[in-house]
Structure 1
Amino acid sequence: MARSETLQRQVQVSGERPQLGPHYKWIALSNTTLGMLMATINSSILLIALPAIFTGIGINPLAPGETNYFLWLLLGYMVVTATLLVTFGRISDMFGRVRMYNLGFAIFTLGSILLFLTPGKGNAAALELIIFRLVQGVGGGFLFANSTAILTDAFPPHQRGMAMGINQIASILGSIIGLILGGILATINWRVVFLVSVPFGLFGTVWAYWMLRETATIRGHQKIDWLGNITFALGLTILLIGITYGLEPYGNQPMGWTNPLVILAIVVGIILLVAFVFVELHVSDPMFRLDLFKIRMFTAGNLSSLLASIARGGLQFMLIIWLQGIWLPLHGYSFEETPLWAGIYMLPLMIGFIAFGPLSGWLSDRFGARLFSTLGMVIQALGFLCLTFLPANFDYIWFALILLLMGIGQGMFAAPNTTAIMNSVPADRRGVASGMRSTFQNSATVMSIGIFFSVVTIGLATALPPALASGLTVAGVPVAVADKIAHLPPTSALFAAFLGYNPMATLLPAAVLQHIAPAQRAHLLGKEFFPNLIASPFMFGLRAVFYLSLVLCLLAAVASLLRGRRYIHDVEAGTLASETQQMAAAPTQGGAKD
C-alpha cells in the first residue's frame, strides 16, 4: 500500500495530522502548480490549433451543420469542468483531497493520450475528440477542485497568499503559453498538440502519488447527497449547454437566443438549480454547503470572484478576434499567421499578472486581502475604460500598456481573494469550498463568453450587412450574391477570423471568385478589405462589452470592500479568529488588520 494511503487511514482513524517535514509545503506548491499549468495550457492551446486539427481530421468547422463540433471542442472542456467542481470538492472532503487530486492527474493524462490516438476521420473523429476532451475535463475538474484546498492544508496562514499567488501564475501563464505553443505545434502535426501534455501528466501523476500526503482530518460516516448532486449537475449542465447553443445562428437570426430549445434549456436549468437549493436546505449532509455563505468573507469573496469572472472571462476571446480579424491583417500578417501572433502580442497581460500575483499574495498575508482585491478590481475597471478609447487600428504601445495594467489588476485581485475565501472556512470543508469557488469562476467564464459574443454579434448584425453588400458590389460581386452573403449570420465571419481563416474566402463561393477579375479578387481576399469593412461595427459592440465589464469590475470592487476584516478559521476552537488573535498565537506571522 502506498505511503499516502497509509497516512490517510491513520488520519481517518486517529483524527490527528501526520507529521510532515518543513519542505512538504513546497512539494505541494510545485505539484499543484504543475497541475494548474497543464490544465490551463490545454484550455487555451486549442484556440490556436483548431484549424490544424479540423484540417487533419478533414472537417470544415464553418460548413452548415459542422459548427457544433467547433463550439464543443472550444467550450466543452470548460462546461464539464464547471459542472463537476462542487461534486468533486465534496467527494474529496469525504475520501481525501490528495487521493482525488492524484486521480485527476491520471484521468487528465488518459484523456491526452486518447486525443493523441484519435483513430477516426471526419465527423466520427470530431465526435471522438469532443468525448476525449470531456474526459480531460473530468480530470481537470479534480485538479481545479483540490489544488487550492491542498495548498491551504499545506501552508500556514501567514504564507498562503504567497503560495496562492505563485500557484495562480500557472493559470494565466498556462493560458498564454497555450496560445503560443498551439501555434508552434500545429505547424508540425495536429496530434502533437495533445501529445505535449502526456509526459508532464505522467510525471505529475507519479510525483503526486508518491510525494503528496493527506493532511486533512476526514470525518467518518459521511453520506453522498445523490439528489443534490443530480439536480446540480443536470441543472448547471443544461444551463451552460443552452448558453453554448445561444451562440449559434437560428433561422434568420444572428444568434440562437430565440431558439425554443435554447430557451427551454435555460429555463429547465434554472428550475433544476432552484430545486437544488431547496434540496440542500433539507438534507442532513448536503453537497453544497450553503451554511458557508453565513461567513461574510466567504460570501463577499465568491461574489466578487463571480462578478470579476463575468467581466473578464470573455476578454481573451474578444481580444483574439480583434487582433486576428482586424489589427494583425492591417499590419501585414496573413490570416493564417494571426493565431500565433495574437498570443505573442497578448504577453503583457501575462507579465503584469506574474509581477503582481505573488507580490500581492505575500502582502495580503500581512495586511489582509481587502485592500489588494479591491484595488485590483478598480485597476481592472480602469483598464476596460482605457480599452474603450482605442481605435480598431491602434498603436500597439498603448494596447500593451493597457494589457499590462489589466494583468497587474488581475494579479492583485486573484491570490488575495482566493486566500481569503479558503482561510475563512473550516478545514474539513476546504475541498467543497474550493470546488464552490472554482464553480463560480468557471461557470462565469462560460457565461461571459456567451454575453460578450452576443453583444458583439448583435452590433455586427445591425451595421455589417449594408456595408458588406456595398463593398462586395463595388468589388465586382453580383448584386444578388452580395446581398445574400451580406445577410449571412456574422458569426461565420467571426469564427473564421478566430480560427485563422480568411473570412472572405469562407463567405464567397469558389465559383463566384473564379468569375471576378484577378485584381478585384486579390482585393477581396487581401489583408485590408475585411478588416476595414468589419472594424466600425465590431468596435461598436466591443466597446459596449468593455463598458459592461467596467461596471461589473466596480461592483466586484464594492463586494470586495465589504468583506470585512480578515480572519482565519481556528480549526481547534471551531471559531472564526480575528487576525489579531492569530498573530498573538503565532508571533512569526506578523501583520496588521485591514
Structure 2
Amino acid sequence: MTTTSAAPPADSHYKWIALSNTTLGMLIATINSSIVLIALPDIFKGIHLNPLEPGNTSYLLWMMMGFLVVTAVLVVSFGRLGDMFGRARMYNMGFAIFTVSSVMLAITWFDGAEAAIWLIFWRVIQGVGGAFLMANSSAILTDAFPANQRGLALGINGVAAIAGSFLGLLVGGVLAPVQWHYIFLVSVPFGVIGTVWAYLKLRDTGVRKHAKMDWWGNATFAIGLVAVLVGITYGIQPHGTSQMGWSSPMVLSCLIGGLIVLTAFVIIETRVESPLFSLGLFKNRSFLFGNIANLMASIGRGGLQFILIIWLQGIWLPQHGYDFSQTPLWAGIYMVPMTIGFLVSAPVSGALSDRLGTKWFTTVGMLLTAGTFAALIALPVDFAYPAFAVILLLNGIGMGLFASPNRAEVMNSLPADQRGSGSGMMTTFQNAAMVLSIGLFFSLMIAGLADNLPGTMSTGLTANGVPAAQAHEIASLPAVAVLFAAFLGYNPVQQLLGHSLHSLPAANQAHLTGLDFFPHLISAPFADGLSAAFTFAIVCCILGAVASLFTGRPKSAEPAERHSVGEELAAVAADATMESPGELIDEPTTAR
C-alpha cells in the first residue's frame, strides 16, 4: 500500500542552511570526480605502476572513469530512495559514505597492481556516496525554496557541481606533486564537517511518498547502464590490429546487451505499481526537452577537459618551455578562465531566470558554447594564450548561462513526490553523457591521429637516427598510447622508445626527448582529430539550443505557491491523476 507523508515545515532560515550544506556536498563530490585526472601521473608513480603498459591500461581507464560510471548508474535509484524514505536521510548517508571512502583512499600503503585495485575499489565506493549526494541535493533545495527563488538556489548549487570539476584539476595539480595521498586526504575534514552538519541541521520539508521498492526496475536499469558504460570505456582501447575496440565482441556484447536490458527496463516501468522512475514525466514538455538539452550539453562538453589537457600537456606547454613533469599543474592553471566564466555567469543567470524565464538563457548559452568550439577549431595548435583564455572564458560563460536555468526548469517541472528520482534521472543523463562524450571525443581524436600520425612519426624518428624497422614498429603502435602519454604528462617519445633510446647518439637522444620534437610531430595530426571532436561538440550544442526553445511555460500558467499541508497533500493526490505530472509542484517552506 502506498502512503504519502509530509515532514514538518522548516523555519524561514532553513532554506539557506540547506543551500549551504548541499553546495558543500556537491562541490566536494565533483572536485573528487576530476581531481584524479590531473593527479594520475603522481598516483601511478607513487604506487610504482606504469599505466602505459598494455596490461595496465584497464587500471588507468577505471581510475579515470569509475567514479563517473558509478554515479551515473546509481543516482536514479538513490533519488527514488530519497522520495520514499527521506531526501535528507539519504543525502546524509551519502556524506558519511563519501567521507569514509576518502579516508580509505588516503591511507593506501602498498604498491603495484594491488594498490591500483584498492584505489579503484574505494573510488567506486566514493562514487556511491557521491551518487547519494548528487541524487538528493537538487530535490532538497527544490523542497526548501519557493518557486521564485529556485533558479538562484539551484544556480548556486549548479555552480558548485560544475565548478568543482574545474577546481579539481587545479587542486589535484597543486597537491599531487607534493604527495599524491593529499588529493584524497583533503576531502576528509570537509566530509566530516558536512556529515555532522547535515545530520544535525537537514530535515525533510517536502512531500514524501512511501511505496514498494521496484526491484526489477532497479536491477535492469543498473545492469543495462553499467553494460553500456563499460562498453564505451573499453571501446577506446585497441583491439587486435584495430586502433580502437568498438568492433570487439566484448564491447559489442556490452553495448547491444545493455541496450536490450534498458529496453526491458522501460517495459517494466510501464507495468509496475510503484516504478523506479515514472516515464509519464516525459509527457511534461519542460522535463522532456530540458533533459534532452542537458544530455546534449553534457555530451558536447564532457570530453572538453580531456582534449584541453592533452592539447596543453602534450603540445602547447612543452612548446613554451614547460617540462613534461610540470605540465599537469600548469594545464590546470591555464584552464582557470573557463572556471571564472562559469562562476560568474551561472548564479547570475539562475537569479535572472527566476524573473525572466529560462529558455532564452539556456538557448543563448548553448549557442555561445557552440561558437567557442568553432573558435577553438579556428585557433592554431600553437596559439597565443590571450586568445585561448578569452575563448575559454566565453565557453565557461556559455555553460553557466545554460546550466542553472536548465536545472531550475527541469526541477520546477517535477511533482513534489518525484523530485528525488527526477533529479536522479537528470544527473544520470549528465554523468552518463560525460562517459559517452569521453568515449566519443577520444574515438574522434584517435581516428584523426591514425590517418596522419604513423607516417609523420616514422619519418621524424628515422630522420633522428632511429632504425627504419624500429621507427615503423613504433609508428604502428595504437594512437591511444600517444594520447594517454600526453594526457598523463609523460614524455611520449621517451615512453615509446624505452631502453632503445640509449643506443642513439647523445645529440639525437636530447632532440627526441626535448620539448620541441614531439609537440611539432603531433601538431598537424592533432589538429585533424581536434577539428573532428569539436565539430561533433558544435552539433550537440546546437541540438541542445533547439531543445531549450521547447521548454518553459507562460508565467500565467505557473501555479501559485501553496500555504497549507492540506493543499500540499491534495496537490500530490491531484498529480497522480493529471495528464501533465509537473503542473502542481510547489510547497511552502516557511512555518505555518
Aligned counterparts of 2:340 and 2:180: Cα–Cα separation in 1: 28
Give TM-score scaled by structure 1 length: 0.93
Q: How does 1:331-342 map to 2 (within 5 A)?
A: 331-342=320-331
> In the alignment, which residue of structure 1 is the partner of 2:302?
313
Question: What stretches of structure 1 of length at least 5 have no aligned partner?
Answer: 1-11, 587-594
Distance between the aligned counterparts of 1:48 and 1:362, measured in 2?
33
Map 1:479-490 → 2, pairs under 5 A: 479-490=468-479
2:227 maps to which residue?
Answer: 238
Is 1:24 the counterpart of 2:18? The answer is no
CA distance in 2, matches of 1:563, 1:170: 24
2:539 to 543, 551, 554: 551
CA distance in 1, matches of 2:435, 2:209: 34
Note the alpha carbon deviations across 1:537-583, whole angstroms, 9 max, x for none.
111111111111111111111111012425656755446999xx99x
Tell whether the 8 Å contact from 2:9 to 2:206 is kept in structure 1 after alignment.
Answer: no
Q: CA deviation at 1:173?
A: 2.5
Residue 396 of structure 1 deviates from its aligned partner by 0.8
Deviation of the 1:372 alpha carbon:
0.6
- Which residue does 1:427 correspond to in 2? 416
2:124 aligned residue: 134
Q: Does 1:375 align with 2:364?
A: yes
Counterpart secondary structure, 1:509: helix
Q: CA, structure 1 residues 487+13, in 2 after alignment: closer, same or farther (shift >3 Å)?
A: closer
| Deviation sequence 1:75-107 (CA, Å, 0-9, x none) | 000001101111111111111100000000000
Tell me the residue number matched to 2:250: 261
Contact 1:423 1:569 in 2 (8 A): no
The match for 1:465 is 454
Whole-Å separation in 2 of the counterparts to 1:59 and 1:32: 37
RMSD over aligned Cα atoms: 1.8
Q: Is the 8 A contact 1:101 1:143 kept in 2?
A: yes
The CA distance in 1 between the partners of 2:336 and 2:201, in whole Å, is 33
* Corresponding letter in the other structure for 1:258: S
Map of 1:590 onto structure 2: none
Counterparts of 2:203 and 2:502, CA distance in 1? 66
On the 8 A contact 1:424/1:568 being kept in 2, the answer is no
Q: Residue 424 of structure 1 contacts residue 569 of structure 1 at CA under 8 Å; is this kept in 2?
A: no
> Deviation digits for residues 87-136 of structure 1, max 9, x if unmatched?
11111111110000000000011110111122432111110110000000
- Counterpart CA distance in 1 for 2:49 and 2:498 is 17
Q: Structure 2 stretches of 5 or more lacking a match?
A: 561-567
SS where residue 463 of structure 1 aligns?
Answer: helix
Give the aligned partner of residue 74 of structure 1: 64
Provide the rounded CA distance (Å) in 2 between the counterparts of 1:147 and 1:343.
27
Q: Percent of counterpart pairs with the same letter?
A: 56
Native 8 Å contact 2:446 2:479 kept in 1 = yes
Supply the distance in 2 between the matched residues of 1:147 and 1:457 (Cα, whole angstroms). Answer: 37
The one of 200, 204, 228 aligned to 2:194 = 204
- Once the two structures are overlaid, the 10-residue window that deviates more, 211-220 or 12-21, is 12-21
Contact 2:26 2:157 (C-alpha < 8 Å) held by counterparts: yes
SS in 2 for 1:337: helix
Deviation at 1:216, TM superposition (A): 2.0
Q: How does 1:376-525 map to 2 (within 5 A)?
A: 376-510=365-499, 512-525=500-513
* In structure 2, distance between residues paired with 1:187 and 1:297: 46
Q: Which residue of 2 aligns with 1:537?
A: 525
For 1:555 and 1:15, the matched residues in 2 are separated by 40
**Aligned residue among 146, 165, 174 for 2:136:** 146
Residue 172 of structure 1: how far off its partner (Å): 3.0
Distance in structure 2 (CA, Å) of the matches to 1:385 and 1:72: 31
Letter of the 1:409 counterpart: G
Structure 1 stretches of 4+ moved >6 Å: 575-578
Kept in 2, the 8 Å contact 1:568–1:577? The answer is no
In 2, the alpha carbon distance for the partners of 1:296 and 1:190 equals 46
Q: Secondary structure at the match of 2:378?
A: coil
Q: 2:287 aligned with 1:298, yes or no?
A: yes
The aligned residue for residue 564 of structure 2 is none
Q: Distance in 1 between matches of 2:322 and 2:123?
A: 31
Of residues 76, 85, 109, the one that matches 1:86 is: 76
Q: Following the alignment from structure 1 to structure 2, what is the Cα–Cα distance between the partners of residues 376 and 577?
A: 31
Following superposition of structure 1 onto structure 2, how do residues 95-174 of structure 1 map, counting pairs within 5 Å? 95-174=85-164
1:207-244 CA deviation, whole Å, 9 max, x = no partner?
00001111122223x11111111011000001100100
> Secondary structure of the equivalent of 1:251?
coil
Q: Give me the TM-score of the superposition, normalised by structure 2.
A: 0.94
Distance in 1 (alpha carbons) for counterparts of 2:387 and 2:4 = 59
Preserved CA contact (<8 Å) 1:383 1:403: yes
Map of 1:278 onto structure 2: 267
